[in-house]
Structure 1
Amino acid sequence: MSTDPGAERVIDRDRLRLLTGRERALFAERNPRSADAYARAGHLFGRVPMTWMNKSAAGYPVYVDRARGARLSDVDGHEYVDFCLGDTAAMAGHSPAPVVEAVTRRLGELGGASTMLPTEDAAVVGAELSRRFGVPEWSFALTATDANRWAIRLLRAVTGRSRILVNSYCYHGSVDESLIVVGPDGRPRSREGNVGAPSDVTLTSRVAEFNDLDGLARELAHGDVAAVLMEPALTNIGIVLPEPGYLEGVRALTREHGTYLINDETHTFSAGPGGATAAWGLEPDVVTIGKAIGGGVPVGAYGMSAELAADLLGRGDLDLIDMGGVGGTLAGNPVSMAATRATLEEVLTEAAFAGMIEVATGFADGVRKIIDRYALPWSVSRLGARVEYRFASPAPRNGTASAASADGELEDYLHTYLLNRGILLTPFHNMALMCPATTPEDVARHHEVFDAALGELTRDASSST
């Protein structure tokens, strides 16, 4: 420990690399069956079902055997306290009993996994989403990405404007228009690594930094923005919370410039039963959401104001039924609707959120104390039931600063260290999410291991590993 209570500790990079190498070797020793499964997956592109599953600090992913509640077990017999929870998709916990029962009944007793016909569950879900988020007209997709794509098309149609505005380093799935950032020169550019862009994103989109109302006003003044698509708090680049007055300013500016406002609540749903929209009293024209509302079953949804719905349905020139661009044969399928109804009515309830947020508050407070004890210049951000520790203090105020604060070497060490001791974080960053089954004991276990990881990292370089 530092002898100067005001000093900030500097990480010994040689020691960090030494410890990371040790932890990766331990991971390989502990997980031979996962290694074998990965080696045998030669007919999968990248050896995984989806290429992002290769994001593993340890070199390859653990293979899941079973999961229930806040626990996950791998094929090598290790059990994990799961704070990743499918990167929000399992925010209800793994296989919650009401969802299992609803899906089993739909597939078994009732039948009909895909019928292209409505079930009564869909209307119940629409009414519940309306109650929670305050917009009355809802439609469904299979992912939040599709919900965002469809909302964008509708708003381009109704406004006659071509551009969409997003925040730098936002996350809205793989929506083409969202892969734009503010470059070092302050000008917009395509986000690094953008795969096969169908057109130059600077022609389809505008971009402003989160928490920058002046920048937003400059971009909206062009008069060609159909919609601002935003998360009420950035999440996937690390949690970036809105500053006082920012979200109210966004709403005022969009109204002034005749631009629709879309709140993407897919991750910010962690803020409460009605996401940040309800928790912070927001008034979007459109809400998009996915992942968590299905209890682990694929679903996405978008809701809109009554005025917007009437404008769209009154347009005889828009093909909203056949080939007009708003489709998806499996959207609104009976299984997704049954799962979503069960999740909203019986799992992610107001009482459940209150408990999740209480546990997350304890998680954040405990991590903050550990970081302070080791005199590390880091910070902790919390968004309802979601917590993130950041390698910057104070916490970044926009996406570009948040991206710059990332430290891949530190993340790899901490994630592998935690994984080897039964703690699973979201692999893309240092996010921990609480589900209804997450307990204070789970949090205490994380803190015990996290403390040990920092203790080894900050030990004098002359000490033995």
Structure 2
Amino acid sequence: MKLSKQVTADMTIETLLDAEQARFLKSHPRSAAAWRKGEESFLFGGPSHWMRRWAGGFPAYVDEAHGARIRDIDGHDYVDFCLGDTGAMCGHTPAAVLRAAQRQLARGTTMMLPTEDSLWIGEELTRRFGLPFWTLTTSATDANRGAIRIARMITGRPKVLVFSGCYHGGVEEAHVEIRDGRIGLRNMIHPNGVNHAEVSKVVEFNDLAALELALAEGDVACVLTEPIMTNFGMIPPDDGFHAAVRELTRRTGTILVIDETHTLSSGPGGYTALHGLKPDILVAGKAIAGGIPAAVFGLSQEVAERVWKIVPRVNPRTRQSAHLGIGGTLAGNALTVATMRAVLEEVLTPANYGHMLGLATRLAEDARAIISAHHLPWHVTQVGARAEIMFMPRPPKSGADVIAGRRANLETLLHAFYMNEGILVTPFHTMFLMCPATEAVEVARHADVFARFVALLQQAKVV
């Protein structure tokens, strides 16, 4: 029986991946031994189950990281375009964050009392993002949960609408997608006793007709969305999409929550400020405290006033006050506040964004030139300091497009090849992020490695 061209290519990719993983194992004996040791203590081998996702077959164990570079315990150096999947967008150990952390560690880390640094932060968040009232959390997941709870509280509605292929952290309402025309749990997530039909709605990104129909029923508390989808491969918005979403949400009394956790790479005020979006609630996380776990969410004047009608701003006089069902004792701790100020004041500055955006543009243009020279059906999308290579001929318009056209095995092979060549990209997708410490020579190095990856595929007749 003659095998199809695609089946033959897939088998060849698997063979190439086996070879790359064998190469990684041979050159990383200490990391391999450490991973085996970790499997004796951790549920999925490492401190976080996500760490098992690296394409080498096991992760490299880090010895130290500085700027845009990582060194592992086997002595290998890497150019880091993963940057903690955005958590280290400021770079590893930026001097300003280190100084602020050391100073605050000597003065106290968490007291459940405010410090004067928080006053500066509140004003700066408003200046950057345009929303007047802010709350600090320990993660973007917590910030999204807070936004959802507030939206339900002030609307009295039960459901959260998300776009298929989205990712908003561990938010249960966002664990849904459309696949083969049916709504189900996304990304191999197992049922958790939640009736998603009662708490979630999901439509395809850029499908305004489906969005209008879903909101017309009047049971959606909020639309939770990234400005451009980034976790299912980059999915750009159609022209006019955001304006239409804003009009539909206002017309139906639905709260619009924009999650800038990844798109903070767009500029000092994120995609929202750059494109003049008008969210009711804005979330930003991961990078905003220089790698210290933290996130923020901001409310518009109107939303804040609706909240205060239910829960007044005045200090409660009764012992058991309403805590809104959000927050935590470590939220807004002094260490986080000190490092967040350092990030906003000294690291994620217009000048540093200019540097980062310029390098991301260079990386994207280099990759496009290689793709064009070899007549490959691939594309590159750039959002600020972030770029992504996708093995599809054009940018997808929806999660359905990604499901239909994504070549996951080719992505995995690229990740493994890159690790062996000293380059790290986020293992969940093929995105490249710049930090203030990234240098032009490192972007040029990527172009060389990408060209050799293409040569490997062509020699194997995979493309």
- TM-score bucket of the superposed structures, by smaller chain: over 0.9
Pairing 1:119-158 to 2, within 5 Å after superposition: 119-158=115-154
Percentage identity across paired residues of the two chains = 46
Cα 1:321–1:275 change in 2 (3 A) is: farther
Determine helix, strand or coil for the equivalent of 1:43: coil
Runs of at least 5 residues in structure 2 that lack an aligned partner in the other structure: 1-5
**Hey, what's the Cα distance between the residues in 1 that align with 2:399 and 2:99?**
41
Which residue matches 2:35? 38
Which residue matches 1:400? 400
| Partner amino acid, structure 2, of 1:120 | E
**Hey, what's the Cα distance between the residues in 2 that align with 1:43 and 1:195?**
23
Which residue matches 2:432? 432
CA displacement, residues 142-200 of structure 1 (integer Å, 9 cap, x when unaligned) = 00000000110011000111111111111100100011112322x43332522342312
Cα deviation for residue 406 of structure 1 reads: 2.6
| Partner amino acid, structure 2, of 1:437 | A
Cα 1:134–1:56 change in 2 (3 A) is: same
**Hey, what's the Cα distance between the residues in 2 that align with 1:198 and 1:232?**
30
Determine helix, strand or coil for the equivalent of 1:354: helix
CA displacement, residues 98-118 of structure 1 (integer Å, 9 cap, x when unaligned) = 00000000002xx21110111
Alignment partner of 1:159 out of 155, 158, 162: 155
Determine helix, strand or coil for the equivalent of 1:47: coil
Which residue matches 1:328? 328
Residue 144 (structure 2) pairs with residue 183 (structure 1)? no
CA displacement, residues 20-65 of structure 1 (integer Å, 9 cap, x when unaligned) = 2221111001100000111111111111001011101111000011
Cα 1:46–1:246 change in 2 (3 A) is: same
Which residue matches 2:216? 221
Q: TM-score normalized by structure 2?
A: 0.94
CA displacement, residues 57-94 of structure 1 (integer Å, 9 cap, x when unaligned) = 11100001100110011000000000000000000101
Cα 1:192–1:444 change in 2 (3 A) is: closer
Alignment partner of 2:288 out of 282, 288, 293: 293
Which residue matches 1:20? 17
| Kept after mapping to 2: 8 A contact 1:135/1:304 | yes
Which residue matches 1:47? 45
| Partner amino acid, structure 2, of 1:379 | H
Which residue matches 1:342? 342
Cα 1:330–1:316 change in 2 (3 A) is: closer
**Hey, what's the Cα distance between the residues in 2 that align with 1:181 and 1:388?**
22
**Hey, what's the Cα distance between the residues in 1 that align with 2:139 and 2:381?**
27
Alignment partner of 1:200 out of 182, 195, 198: 195
**Hey, what's the Cα distance between the residues in 2 that align with 1:217 and 1:460?**
48
Which residue matches 2:112? 116
Q: TM-score normalized by structure 1?
A: 0.94
| Kept after mapping to 2: 8 A contact 1:57/1:411 | no
Cα 1:458–1:321 change in 2 (3 A) is: farther
| Kept after mapping to 1: 8 A contact 2:112/2:330 | yes
CA RMSD of aligned residues (A): 1.9
Cα deviation for residue 121 of structure 1 reads: 1.4
Cα deviation for residue 459 of structure 1 reads: 1.4
**Hey, what's the Cα distance between the residues in 1 that align with 2:265 and 2:380?**
16
Which residue matches 2:3? none
Alignment partner of 1:72 out of 70, 78, 83: 70
| Kept after mapping to 2: 8 A contact 1:390/1:405 | no
| Partner amino acid, structure 2, of 1:279 | L
| Partner amino acid, structure 1, of 2:310 | R
| Partner amino acid, structure 2, of 1:178 | A
**Hey, what's the Cα distance between the residues in 1 that align with 2:183 and 2:32?**
42
**Hey, what's the Cα distance between the residues in 1 that align with 2:324 and 2:88?**
32
Cα 1:260–1:460 change in 2 (3 A) is: closer
| Partner amino acid, structure 2, of 1:134 | G
| Kept after mapping to 2: 8 A contact 1:169/1:403 | no
| Kept after mapping to 2: 8 A contact 1:83/1:423 | yes
| Partner amino acid, structure 2, of 1:122 | S
Cα 1:93–1:178 change in 2 (3 A) is: same
**Hey, what's the Cα distance between the residues in 1 that align with 2:340 and 2:95?**
13
Cα deviation for residue 11 of structure 1 reads: 8.3
Cα deviation for residue 120 of structure 1 reads: 1.3
**Hey, what's the Cα distance between the residues in 2 that align with 1:268 and 1:62?**
27
| Partner amino acid, structure 2, of 1:265 | E
Which residue matches 1:3? none
CA displacement, residues 407-463 of structure 1 (integer Å, 9 cap, x when unaligned) = 23211211111111111011101110000111111111011011011101101659x
CA displacement, residues 205-260 of structure 1 (integer Å, 9 cap, x when unaligned) = 11111111111101001101111010000001111111110011000000010101
| Kept after mapping to 2: 8 A contact 1:165/1:205 | yes
Cα deviation for residue 322 of structure 1 reads: 4.5
| Partner amino acid, structure 1, of 2:417 | Y
**Hey, what's the Cα distance between the residues in 1 that align with 2:324 and 2:459?**
62
Instruction: Judge which range, 136-145 or 114-123, deviates more.
Output: 114-123
CA displacement, residues 315-334 of structure 1 (integer Å, 9 cap, x when unaligned) = 14999955431220100000
CA displacement, residues 314-373 of structure 1 (integer Å, 9 cap, x when unaligned) = 214999955431220100000001011000100010111111111100110110111122
